Structure 1
Amino acid sequence: MSRAARWAVVVLVLAVAAVVALWPREDEPTAPPRTAAAKDLGPARAKAALDACPRGAGGPAVLRGVTATCLGDGQPLDVAAALPGKALVNFWATWCVPCQEELRVLDAYAREPGAVPVLIVQVQSKEGDGLELLTKLGVHLPAVFDEADTVRKAFAAAPQLPKSFVVGADGSVAEVTRYPVLTSVEQVREVVG
């Protein structure tokens, strides 16, 4: 056997050994991939001091089976069950400047006696950034993080932000179209009826 042939065999054996060593085995547990969601957001959640996500029963039919993450505690939330009666649902993102004004207005409205419950849904931005922004704004509304955008898709909402919907006590869903951005508590009172 020539010297070149011997080296070719050695290289081939080493290549096969490397493939076998690196090949995943079904009986070996694999660690989950490290993602941004794996980041510990506990301190950010505590600092934001968000109101607890409502957890009831029933809710709009379009949301049954749709889950998102409660920003306040990081736990999965059945969004339909979070809206068992009349409520206002608002979609927002951290990069949306008009959303910031609207979030403050919604928070002020929700603090009034007799206010309809408000649930804010963060989309198109990172969970940690949402917690940071809500802390900065002093907004403490119940909030969900909809990374997969499933809640907004269930509402068949256009991609423009902010976007609000009134959920009726009967589970009906109506888009707020009169005001593109809710800029006063009076406007919120008007749209929720």
Structure 2
Amino acid sequence: MTHELRVRRSEIIATVLVALLAAVAVFALWPRDRDPATRATGTMEQVQVSDADLAAARAAAGAIPCPAPTGAAPAGPLAGVTAPCLGAPGSVDVGAALAGRPALINVWASWCVPCREELPALAEYAARPGAVPVLTIDTRDDPRAALSLLGELGVELPSVIDTDGALRAALDVPPALPASYVVRADGTVTRVDPPIPFRTADDVAAAVERLS
């Protein structure tokens, strides 16, 4: 084989290797749907399920009722926003359920790893004497997976399902979860910032005290 042919062969092999490496890189970076909630648009969306579909998951997680209206007039961005209860049949008027008193809202999802670590701290805080009511919002998620996680963690926090994204819009929830908000007695809402997941019940209490 002449020197010229050897050089040409080397160039061809190098070109093929570059093409193969490029193809592998494209394949590795190509977005894939890892959850049924992402199939339609490539972004996480809320899975729509009925009360009948949730019956088994609710039974396994334990009955987790949602708050009833306080009787005070709702105000602020949550006034008039309703959402299905996650742990029990029925819907919740979120603004009416939190009206007239300070409260803490936590937005989470079963696929969110920091949420998994934060939920027990929220539950521990909520069980303390003098704690403000804690309402969690399951968003961009499969509610059955959400109930399964609550059961696995032994967390019995009331939660609603952000079925249509109305709660995300009202609270201006950022893409990254979890996100927490303190609701004041007058209905105004303040996001806990910086958005560092709570590690302990003391962390939760400090944020509530600071922003109430």
| TM-score between the two structures when normalised by the length of structure 1 | 0.77
Structure 1 stretches of 5 or more lacking a match?
1-34
> Are 1:185 and 2:201 an aligned pair?
yes
Structure-1 separation of matches of 2:208 and 2:74: 17
1:179, distance to aligned residue in structure 2 (A): 4.7
The total of aligned residue pairs comes to 159
Aligned residue for 2:160, secondary structure, equals strand
Counterpart of 1:45 (choices 44, 53, 58) is 58
CA RMSD of aligned residues (A): 1.6
> Are 1:114 and 2:127 an aligned pair?
no
Counterpart of 1:83 (choices 87, 95, 98) is 98
The 5 Å alignment of 1:133-152 reads 133-152=149-168
Q: As a proportion of its length, which structure holds more helix?
A: 2
Higher mean alpha-carbon deviation, 68-77 vs 41-50, is at 41-50
1:83, distance to aligned residue in structure 2 (A): 0.9
Query: Aligned residue for 2:10?
Result: none
Percent identity, aligned pairs only, is 43
Partner deviation per Cα, 1:19-43 (whole Å, 9 max, x = no partner): xxxxxxxxxxxxxxxx951453212
User: CA 1:146/1:168 → structure 2, altered by over 3 Å: closer, same or farther?
Assistant: same
Query: Aligned residue for 1:71?
Result: 86
Structure 2 stretches of 5 or more lacking a match?
1-46
Structure 1 residue identity aligned to 2:49? A
1:147, distance to aligned residue in structure 2 (A): 1.9
> Are 1:124 and 2:140 an aligned pair?
yes
Aligned residue for 1:41, secondary structure, equals helix
Higher mean alpha-carbon deviation, 37-46 vs 63-72, is at 37-46
| TM-score between the two structures when normalised by the length of structure 2 | 0.70
